[in-house]
Structure 1
Amino acid sequence: MRAAVLLLLGLLTPVAARAGDPASPDPVRRGEYVFDAAGCLGCHTNEKGGGAPLAGGRPLKTPFGTFYSPNITPDPVHGIGRWTDADFARALRSGHGREGEPLFPAFPYTSYTRMSDRDVADLKAYLSSRPASPAANRPHDLSAPFGWRFLLPVWQTLYLEEGPLKDDPARPAEWNRGRYLVEALGHCGECHSPRGWMGGVDSARALAGNPQGPEGDKVPNLRPGPKGLADWSQGDVEAALEMGMLPDGDFVGGSMAEVVRNSTSKLTPADRRAIAVYLKSLPSVP
């Protein structure tokens, strides 16, 4: 019966077009796939405010104040048009901007630092091919001391571990691909993990849910425990990523619905399966 329901939904539910191709030799086309997997569109577009794609300005309300995403179009003044490949890689790898300034971790470089060199380079190629927007960046509205940029190097010393994510040779390729998508490109732990008072992810409970997620939403546990994905099959996880359908027939809402629309629905079936394999392999964490 469930298979019939999924088949019917697959026929009736529009699936997001996937223009990017992870196997393409073209850096721009491959970079588009990386862009979708990394979820860049949603965070860097103020859709409700009528902003241009990737022109920034989207507010992100947190316990530390409100962050506003920056313009990442190729505009030379307000965007990243003057950024070199090395500038861009440094932002993702070490959390520093073009002028060397430390970046606030609302930009999830603690996850993006784990991206492969090729994915970083191809993502930059794709962003450089997008239309430029002259939209000026809006300053963050943060409470003290969280808005003091000079304290960020201390935070980065505590919570940033630089470098690409290395495969576990004891695990199959599918598991390693799923881990890479979850921990690096998809940066799932940034929302689905609890944080300490300094805003750093509690690594001991990574992906175990966050009662105080972005916009004040409660973010669910992605581990296979009784409060998480214990009753979910691998197919359930894949269906949620593809069309937002939950095991009870309901659908995800809020920010996760946006993630499905802009990101996970555009992944290849093999990548969604890899994510499911990885998540189902994790130990339960209360």
Structure 2
Amino acid sequence: MASTWIKGLGTLAVLGAAGFGTFLFITAPQRQDPAVWANLGEPDLAHGREVFFAGGCASCHAPAGATGDARLVLSGGAPLKSDFGTFHAPNISSDPEGGIGAWTLAEFGDAMTRGVGRDGEHLYPSFPYGSYARMTPEDINDLYGFMKTLPASDAVAPAHELGFPFNQRVVLGGWKFLYYSDAPRVELADASDMVKRGQYLVEGPGHCGECHTPRNALGGFLAGQWLAGGPNPEGEGSIPNITPGSRSMGSWSEGDIVSYLETGFTPDYDSVGGSMVEVQKNMAELPAADREAIAAYLKAITAVQ
């Protein structure tokens, strides 16, 4: 009996090790094909600036409370509280040691679109690569080119404050397996070029769904609830529904949305508040046509009550 029991434990151990090995293989960090980042040419810095503001890079990576040109010093450190712990945005300035100034375009692009760090590690999805995955290689090339023109900082951001098991990056492979996708969030039949542009901005660099879509206990988006609002991921208050089914914004016209993104004022002359203040500042830097495209997309998607 004892030998049979021992053999059984040995079999379970082998099966467990094989299963864990399979998990590691399936969920290993996956970089882009290097050809994706080849032959993109010199970046368009003016367009890179637009992508920078569309992506909201300064909102997380600039020093807390920074204003004016100080928002372009991407020294990191800003805390992002969540149910999983507190994340601290890293230094992504042009400094070659403290920041990402020495990274190649491929390394930067893999972080942006695959959530893979320079050393091949999984990145936490507090960095919204699940949205940035929809960005074009050309936009990422222009963005990185612009970011390298910004001031350098040698500041070192604090380490993430995460408990077990969230402090084990290996579990992120499982999260990606369940929730990572570079496919469009919604299918829009016969969409106009303006709506398609809005979809790209909202679902991609704008990463609007990261706050405006409710999540399950593992941090994945709830199916059928795209942009329907819900609890604030940072734990205070709520994030509004911005679909046409919204009680507060469903009656807004496209022009109302465009004006809000440009000026920060609602149709009732209330002003933008909370974390949306930084987002609105970024949206105001975009070309008017992009704000119009965002509005067109938000009025075209399915209403969620």
TM-score, length of structure 1 as denominator length: 0.85
Task: Tell me the C-alpha RMSD between the 2 structures.
Answer: 2.2
Change (3 A) 1:165 1:205: closer
What residue identity is the alignment partner of 2:222?
A: D
Task: Summarize the alignment of residues 58-97 of structure 1 with structure 2, pairs less than 5 Å apart.
Answer: 58-97=78-117
Q: Which blocks of at least 5 consecutive residues in structure 1 are unaligned?
A: 1-24
Q: Percent identity?
A: 44
Structure 1 residues 59-68 or 96-105, which shifts more?
59-68
Mapping 1:113-262, distance limit 5 Å: 113-162=133-182, 170-261=190-281
What's the counterpart of residue 36 of structure 2?
none
Distance in 1, Cα, partners of 2:186 & 2:250:
28
Shift of 1:168: 6.4
Paired position in structure 1 for 2:7:
none
Kept after mapping to 2: 8 A contact 1:113/1:164: no
The structure number with the bigger radius of gyration is 2
Displacement, 1:246?
1.0
Whole-Å separation in 2 of the counterparts to 1:177 and 1:30: 15
Please state how far the C-alpha of 1:217 moved relative to its aligned partner: 3.1
Q: Which amino acid aligns with 2:56?
A: G
Deviation at residue 54 of structure 1 after TM alignment: 0.5
Amino acid at match of 1:39: G
Query: Residue 245 of structure 1 aligns to which amino acid in structure 2?
Result: F
CA distance in 1, matches of 2:58, 2:264: 18
Asked if 2 retains the 8 angstrom alpha-carbon contact of 1:211 and 1:218, the reply is: yes
Q: TM-score, normalised by structure 2?
A: 0.80
8 Å contact from structure 1 (residues 229, 280) kept in 2 = no
- Name the counterpart of 1:282: 301
Number of the residue aligned with 1:267:
286
Match of 2:49 among 32, 35, 58: 32
Change (3 A) 1:150 1:226: closer
Letter paired with 1:41:
A
Q: How many residues align?
A: 261
Offset from partner CA, 1:222-255 (integer Å, 9 cap, x none): 1011435221111111111111111211011111
SS in structure 2 of the partner of residue 60 of structure 1: strand
Q: Distance in 2 between the 1:160 and 1:26 partners?
A: 28
Determine the C-alpha separation between the residues in 2 that align with 1:129 and 1:215.
Answer: 35
Which range moves more in the overlay, 209-218 or 89-98? 209-218
Tell which deviates more after alignment, 26-35 or 83-92.
Answer: 26-35
1:143 deviates by: 2.7
Deviation at 1:182, TM superposition (A): 0.5
Amino acid at match of 2:299: K
> How far apart, in 2, do the equivalents of 1:110 and 1:198 lie?
14
Instruction: For residue 87 of structure 1, report the CA deviation from its aligned partner.
Output: 0.3
Partner of 1:112: 132
Residue 33 of structure 2: aligned partner: none
Cα 1:214–1:175 shift into 2, 3 Å: same
Cα shift at 1:163? 6.6
Task: Give 1:209 shift.
Answer: 0.2
Superposed displacement of residue 127, structure 1: 1.1
| Cα separation, partners in 2 of 1:127 and 1:203, compared to 1, 3 Å | farther
Matching residue's letter, 1:86: A
Of stretches 244-253 and 208-217 in structure 1, the one that deviates more from structure 2 is 208-217
